[in-house]
Amino acid sequence: MHALANPARFLRIARPATTWLLLVGLVLAVVGMAAGLTLTPPDYLQGDTVRIMYIHVPSAWLGMAGWMGIAAASISQLVWRHPLAAVAGRAVAPAGATFAGICLITGSIWGRPTWGTWWEWDGRLTSMLVLFFLYLGYIALGSAERERGGEGRITAIYGVVGAINLPIIHYSVLWWRTLHQGESIGLTGSTIDNSILWPLPLTMVGFTCLFAAAALMRMRAELAEAKVEARMRRMGAQ
Amino acid sequence: MNPWPFVVAAYAVAVGLTGALLLWAFASMRRAEAAADALKRK
């Protein structure tokens, strides 16, 4: 991590990585979605609506992974004062908010034919909605602190405190057994048949690469903006 | 209930929002890096 503390060294790695992540992500996401729409059989109970899983599960994973990244960046900023940590946290937030939003909307669309309702104040849905609002708060706080020339410590503390919601989302289906189904994919296996499951790793890896590409592009934009601001200040002082 | 309108709507939302995120991130990066390069050349 500290090897990347130098922005010039970081950019030397980030520039080619952005292109590769975009290319690999696009190919895997498109192939995974096409396979999920055309090659897999319908579920015996849910029918064709099960195909929403190939986009809903990756977006749920990325919504949560995004905040894990923010929490890691925040700790790195508060403890080790890593110079790129605040930039990384602010860069991850829009991508995390987008995927949390996709998760909520696709879940709602999946819920209508499956549960007969667009929305239910169930533990999983509500905690995911809270995550989405946490992202909006983080983005607002991050840009406000940056405009005031702050170091981003308040935003970092908010990033660490907001991580409390992650175990709540994960265990919500066990703590409050309401509409949302329990865990079907764990670390040791899955209750979903392989004939339906196989495109899911493709979309998971594909969307993860696209998420990483978006975050890297935002980091590059923030670093370039900071360079311009610093130069303008120097020119103004002369 | 025909499930396909729901499936198509869900995929449209996912593709549309992911595409919008990537386009916005790319455009803001290009704009910022072009401004930084222009300032360096001055």
β-partners of residue A43 are A47
CB-nearest partner of B36 from A102, A112, A228: A228
A56: contact with B, CB 8 A cutoff: yes
**What was the pLDDT predicted at A1?**
58
Which chain B residues have a beta carbon less than 8 Å from that of A17?
none
Per-domain residue ranges for chain A? 52-180+199-233
pLDDT tens, residue by residue, B25-41? 999 999 999 999 888 77
C-alpha distance from B10 to closest chain A C-alpha (Å): 5
Write down the pTM of the prediction. Answer: 0.93
Report the sign of the C-alpha dihedral through residues A201, A207, A208, A213, in that order. Answer: positive
- Residue A74: the pLDDT is 97
Nearest Cα neighbor of A69 from A216, A225, A202 is A216
Angstrom distances, CA of residue A38 to CA of A54, A66, A108, B18:
12, 30, 22, 21
Distance CA A112, CA A108 (A): 7
Mean pLDDT of chain B: 94
Is A110 touching B (CB cutoff 8 A)? yes
| Residue in the block written with tokens 């096409």 | A34
What are the pLDDT tens digits along chain A (238 aa)? Answer: 566 677 888 899 999 999 999 999 999 999 999 999 999 999 998 999 999 999 999 999 999 999 999 999 999 999 998 889 999 999 999 999 999 999 999 999 999 999 999 999 999 999 999 999 999 999 999 999 988 888 889 999 999 999 999 999 999 988 887 778 777 777 777 788 889 999 999 999 999 999 999 999 999 999 999 888 888 888 877 7
In 10 A of CB B41, how many CB atoms? 5
CA dist A119 and B7 (Å) reads 17
